[in-house]
Structure 1
Amino acid sequence: MLPGLPVYISVLFILIAISTVWLFYRATNYNRTTLVVLQGWLASQAVMALAGFYERTDTTPPRLAFLIGPPLLVIVALFVSKKGQHFIDTLRLEQLTLLHSVRIVVEIVLYLLFVHKAVPASMTFDGSNFDILAGLTAPLVYYLAFVRKKITRRMLLLWNMACLGLLINIVLTAILAAPTPFQQTAFDQPNIAISYFPFVWLPSVVVPIVLLSHLVAIQRLRTPW
């Protein structure tokens, strides 16, 4: 774990990761296989992080690729395979929309990590990260689209595309600020948090679930129900 970091920040992020998994589990109509896979992935990444695997940042390719690569491959497999497409078709769009509310607390944690010199300012809402807007608007969009039926499919599609852009922005910012051979920014205060437990769960669990939620919504909203 990060030396000198207050325990409450780590506990808060653990709750975020668990909440994200739980909300996605609800979106799958409580698919137990999904829950078991996610629990296994959470556990394996926790073990690797606690063993110090990700603290070695000078390797090529960067070890951080083990955080990002497998989830991205799974997402691709879901969209290109028949079984994966069937799984996507069963996901509940309203729950995927509400899931994005976790991004509010994620941004709060990132700011706390910045204060404790574990991430650069560019990764916070005080810098160039505006991802908190997705979290703040998610409950309202959920209410207006699925409870009051006041938002059209086109408006919901545009919201998902805009929020996907916000996600891509912070992901690229975080990657370029990580202390790897490919680091491009934030040399005075790099993104070291994602090399430690529990923050390895941000790129390996929380971000992939958020990404998948947007991609599924965009695909579904572009085609007739």
Structure 2
Amino acid sequence: MSELPSYISGVFLTTAVATFGFLYYGIKLAQARKNDNHAIIASIIIVGWLFALITLALNSFFLVFDAMPPRLIFVLLPPVIGIIVVLSVKKSRDYVVRIPITTLTYLHIVRVPVEIVLWWLAVNQLVPFLLTFEGINYDILSGITAPFVAIFLVGLRSKRRIAAILWNFITLGLLINIVGHAILAAPTPIQRFAFDQPNVAVFYFPFILLPGFIVPAVLFSHLVGLIKLFNKDQQLI
């Protein structure tokens, strides 16, 4: 990893910061009163999780590839459980659905630099080309189309809910597709693909933030967006 060109880590870290910025901005906009501190509380929780994740990665915790269960589960499961809790508890769900859907949709733009970084990592033999847009990963289309969806499907006065719902389901499917293949391409006891070049980059800093933060943030944006779109009484903006 030390021989990896620094611009790859730089672009990825910038993307992670942008993802955090979208989340913070959206939570801030959802505050009903100026003295609400929900955005600060959410930021502290996220930063705490990222600190724990980075610390474990820097201490090679995730590099025990033969562990069972695979240690990648400790990266993916906590944020997914957190999302489930937030959307299951009425008080927190009522709060997050106030996040403007335009902000939730614009967040998906980060999927473009993520896909570019994955391709760079494949060139440097740290992930298989299978997980890039040269393989079975078409997730870059989600990021490319996100601004158009934000402007023309959910950002104008005439809302196109059906089209926006369809886009969210299709792009959520693309996310699930690449995450599933990425898990099965990692060098763990459940590996099923890419034995010649496993998916190893995501076990190191800073790329551990992809499954541990960026993917959950994208998933959160999809789920909250769909809740808003299916609720006709819910304001989209």
Contact 2:122–2:132 under 8 Å retained in 1 = yes
| Matched residue type, 1:35 | S
Match of 2:129 among 121, 129, 136: 121
Match of 1:18 in 2: 17
Alignment partner, residue 171 of structure 2: 163
CA contact (8 A) 2:154 2:160 kept: no
Partners of 1:121 and 1:150 lie apart in 2 by: 41
- Work out whether 1:193 is the aligned partner of 2:192: no
TM-superposed CA distance for 1:4, in Å, is 2.0
* 1:62 equivalent in structure 2: 70
In the TM superposition, what is the alpha-carbon distance from 1:223 to its structure 2 partner? 1.5
Do 1:54 and 1:63's aligned partners in 2 also have CA atoms closer than 8 Å?
yes
Deviation sequence 1:179-212 (CA, Å, 0-9, x none):
1000000000000001100000000100000001
Mark the runs of 5 or more structure 1 residues left unpaired by the alignment: none
1:212 alignment partner, SS class:
helix
**In the alignment, is residue 135 of structure 1 matched against residue 134 of structure 2?**
no
Contact 1:114–1:120 (CA under 8 A) maintained in structure 2: yes
Give the 3-state SS of the residue equivalent to 1:28 in structure 2. helix
Which residue of the other structure, out of 103, 107, 124, is the alignment partner of 2:111? 103
Matched residues in 2 for 1:15 and 1:140: separation? 23
2 CA distance for matches of 1:166 and 1:11?
A: 25
* Pairs within 5 Å for 1:59-98: 59-98=67-106
Residue of structure 2 in register with 1:5 after alignment: 4
Answering whether residue 229 of structure 2 is matched by residue 221 of structure 1, we say: yes
Alignment of 1:203-214 (within 5 A): 203-214=211-222
The one-letter amino acid of 1:110's match is L
> Which of 163, 182, 186 is residue 190 of structure 2 equivalent to?
182
How many Å separate the matches in 1 of 2:131 and 2:216?
17
CA distance in 2, matches of 1:129, 1:163: 11
Could you list the runs of 5+ residues in structure 2 that have no partner in the other structure? 30-38
Partner-residue secondary structure (3-state), 1:163: helix
Equivalent pair of 1:29/1:92 in contact (CA under 8 Å): no
Q: Quick one: structure 1 residues 114 and 150, their matched pair in 2 at CA, closer, same or farther if it must change by over 3 Å?
A: farther
Whether the aligned pair in 1 keeps the contact of 2:130 and 2:137 (CA below 8 Å) is yes
| Shift in Å, 1:145 | 2.8
User: Contact (CA 8 Å) 1:28, 1:92: kept in 2 or not?
Assistant: no
Conserved in 1, the CA contact under 8 Å of 2:115 and 2:139?
yes
Shift of 1:147: 4.0
One-letter amino acid of the structure 1 residue matched with residue 18 of structure 2: S
Displacement, 1:148?
3.6
Kindly indicate whether the alpha-carbon contact (under 8 Å) linking 2:154 and 2:164 is maintained by their aligned counterparts in 1: no
SS of the counterpart of 1:90? coil
Contact 1:78 1:87 in 2 (8 A): no
1:150 Cα offset (Å): 5.4
4+ residue runs of structure 1 moved beyond 4 angstroms?
A: none
What's the CA shift for 1:72? Answer: 0.8
Give the TM-score of the pair, scaled to structure 2.
0.91
Tell me if the contact between 2:16 and 2:214 (Cα under 8 Å) persists in the aligned partners.
yes
Q: 1:150 to 1:86 in 2, by over 3 A?
A: closer
